[in-house]
A = this chain, B = another copy of it.
């Protein structure tokens, strides 16, 4: 498909190659439906269950694609990133699967459960002070000392391509979707989703779903430039980051709109999925569900695909 994105910018062919590259390494997650949620939404909902993906999140797709795309020489020195969340766990496991080291820069104040997850997948944690500056300088130092390749959590074409494979599987399995919804934080999942949907099912509308308390993507899209996320406040702690120089242009060009929901709506949607579907999703996953259940689509859709991004929840601290 022709777009106004610059030549050489990420496009759908990268998603297709990623799908072939990672196929044997990732789960082909199921697409579930729920009659009672359909009734609440007044539409047919098709849930792509990346909560069942390895490490419990779609992030494993992008990390695996990035790691498998490295040359032998690049790979030998390993990979590095700054993240304390799902990307850190995903990159650690993807690296271990290739037999190479992963260096994860993490604030020393990160929750013990997140440190344990990264260590459980074999990642090498490098602690830093909990400031943006310390994070970047520590990462820089790690890369210089080890020669590891920095794999950004979302502003990286290979990562974006990998994330787009979830939507590709969804579209292969469910025809005639009128809309596809994905949560948006840094925009890796949403931009990969948009590249895929525009190419495979051009009539299908693509929406980003964002917490009202972290609505920088919404404001960026409407302002026409990246507005950084400042002091975001939301239960959806996977969606706090700002868009990047790669994800923003793709989203601006290919996404129909960004729709926001407040935390009360997010928690309600999360609980409904737990109660009715008997599956565990994290708050970030509940954001697009809330958009559907609260009927916030600007153009009603009868068949809606929803990417459930992950299922990593602290079971000691549920939001109800």
Contacts and interface: CB of A to CB of B under 8 A. Distances in A.
A51 interface: yes
A4 B56 CA distance: 48
Contacts of A274: 280, 315
Interface residues of A, number: 17
Contact of A320 (B30, B275, B281, B315): B315
A271 interface: yes
B278 A278 contact: no
A279 interface: yes
Nearest to A310: B278
Contact of A52 (B51, B278, B320): B278
Interface in A260-292: 271, 274-275, 277-281
A315 B272 CA distance: 11
A277 B279 CA distance: 9
B275 A315 contact: yes
Given A316-B320, A318-B318, A320-B316, A311 B278 contact: yes
A263 to B, nearest CB: 17
Interface string A188-230: 0000000000000000000000000000000000000000000
A10 to B, nearest CB: 29
Contact of A280 (B52, B56, B278): B278
B320 A51 contact: no
Contacts of A271: 315
B56 A278 contact: yes
A132 B192 CA distance: 60
A274 to B, nearest CB: 6
Given A30-B30, A316-B320, A318-B318, A51 B311 contact: no
Contacts of A278: 51-52, 56, 279-281, 311
A152 to B, nearest CB: 26
A56 B275 CA distance: 9
A114 to B, nearest CB: 14
A315 B315 contact: no
A317 to B, nearest CB: 11
Interface in A98-132: none
A315 B316 contact: no
A280 B275 CA distance: 9
B320 A318 contact: no
A320 B318 CA distance: 11
Contacts of A315: 271, 274-275, 318, 320
Q: 6 shortest A-B CB distances, which residue pairs? A: A278-B311, A278-B280, A51-B278, A279-B279, A52-B278, A274-B280
8 contacts: A52-B278, A274-B280, A275-B315, A278-B279, A278-B280, A278-B281, A279-B279, A315-B320
Given A274-B315, A279-B280, 18 more contacts: A30-B30, A51-B278, A52-B277, A52-B278, A56-B278, A271-B315, A274-B280, A275-B315, A278-B279, A278-B280, A278-B281, A278-B311, A279-B279, A280-B280, A315-B318, A315-B320, A316-B320, A318-B318
